[in-house]
Amino acid sequence: MPDLTSGAAGFTRLPDLASRSHGGSVVAASDESFAERQALILPGPPGFRPHTFGARGQVYDGWETRRRREAGHDWAVVRLGLPGVVRGVVIDTSWFTGNYPPFASVEACAAPGHPAPEELDVAGWTEIVPRVPLTGDARHEFPVTDPRRFTHVRLNIHPDGGVARLRVHGEVVPDLTLYEGLGLDLAALENGGLVVGCSDEFYSSPGNVIAPGLPRHQAEGWETARRRDGGNDWLVVRLGVPGVARVAELDTTNLVYNAPGQAALAAAAVPGGGEPGPDTEWFDLLPRTRLQPDTRHRFRLAGARVATHVRLDIFPDGGMGRLRLHGLPADPPAR
């Protein structure tokens, strides 16, 4: 089974808290004369077409500032779509060769509410990646050890240049106080859910099934290889909020010729904040049920027991666009 939760696999297996797909935004930058700042957090690898010149110069897929003619350095501030504990940062200079910044550093802060960018000046920034050298056309991975929850990061480049992508991997730590006493999607990534295991992730990541919004194409959902062994594919979600799931959405959107034929849901209450193991007792939430391709199915669930984890089985293979588990948090909280 692939290790989906850091450890040996490294921090890049954790969700990208900054990604535009997760609600991130590059809310301010010192300069974006050559290439606009929002490209820093776009999903997917950066591309490049040589000899494509626009009014600003060569076109790059990334953030690129003008050549500085005065002292100082350039910076971009990213509001994390998913506030949380940052475990590592990737600064990707892909395709920037004669114009990459030779040094970079990253700071982070925690600001409550919905601050305007200028209100972040007093937020108390902490350096999470010290000034480090960069090379051109390369992905640079920097682990982060600060255990605090952050809402924003600031990428500093010294003195100027272009960065294709900034990835901020970590553990989502939501503020759910607004939802007290209310139902919510117990599995959602934005509510702290995490896919902790799966049978197969050949084409696209199982973590996608709990991402915000709808998948725009099948690669934004979970897609497995064709199974040839008579078994079935599955994934396990650690709920962000332990509770009783009452309605499931199984969304096969974009899986047109590769949707599973059937799916089933089971749940478990794992004590002590652990993960399910071979001895874990699973109870049924949804019996094996027929699915349609490219369809957002909704099912009322039978279970009335508190769960910490939910297992989705698909038969025999295919994948899933999204999995939503609407329910009520355990009272008192189970974890």
37: left (phi over 0), alpha (psi -120 to 50) or beta: alpha
Assess 34 for contact with ligand 1AL (CB under 6 A): yes
Which residues 6+ apart lie within 8 Å of 133 measured at CB?
Answer: 102, 103
The partner residues of 29 in beta bridges, in order of sequence, read: 76
Q: Which of 16, 61, 64, 313 binds ligand 1AL (CB under 6 A)?
A: 64
CB of 56 to ligand 1AL, least distance (A): 6
Q: Which is nearer to ligand 1AL, 58 or 204 (CB)?
A: 58
Assess 315 for contact with ligand 1AL (CB under 6 A): no
Q: Which of 44, 45, 47, 57 binds ligand 1AL (CB under 6 A)?
A: 57
CB of 50 to ligand 1AL, least distance (A): 10
Please give the C-alpha separations between residue 242 and each of 45, 52, 187, 274, 283, in angstroms, as whole numbers: 34, 51, 9, 13, 15
Assess 102 for contact with ligand 1AL (CB under 6 A): no
Q: Which of 60, 75, 95, 234 binds ligand 1AL (CB under 6 A)?
A: 60
CB of 108 to ligand 1AL, least distance (A): 28
State the residue number with the nearest CB to ligand 1AL: 57
Tell me which residues in 203-232 interact with ligand 1AL (CB under 6 A). none
* Number of amino acids touching ligand 1AL (CB under 6 A): 7
Q: Which is nearer to ligand 1AL, 160 or 200 (CB)?
A: 160
Query: Which region among 52-60, 178-186, 225-233, 277-285 touches ligand 1AL (by CB under 6 A)?
Result: 52-60
CB of 117 to ligand 1AL, least distance (A): 25
Assess 254 for contact with ligand 1AL (CB under 6 A): no
Which residues 6+ apart lie within 8 Å of 164 measured at CB?
Answer: 39, 40, 46, 60, 61, 62, 92, 93, 94, 95, 96
Pairing of strands 53-54, 126-133: unpaired
Pairing of strands 283-290, 222-223: unpaired
Query: Which region among 59-67, 114-122, 251-259, 313-321 touches ligand 1AL (by CB under 6 A)?
Result: 59-67
Assess 58 for contact with ligand 1AL (CB under 6 A): yes
Q: What is the CA radius of gyration of the chain?
A: 21
Task: Answer for the pair 104, 134: CB distance below 8 angstroms, yes or no.
Answer: yes
Instruction: Supply angle C-alpha 315, 320, 321, rounded to 5.
Output: 165
Phi, psi of 251 (to 5 degrees): -110, 110
CB of 139 to ligand 1AL, least distance (A): 20
Which residues 6+ apart lie within 8 Å of 136 measured at CB?
Answer: 93, 96, 97, 98, 100
Q: How far apart are CA 20 and CA 17, in angstroms?
A: 9
Binding-site ranges for ligand 1AL (CB under 6 A): 34, 57-58, 60, 64, 67, 99
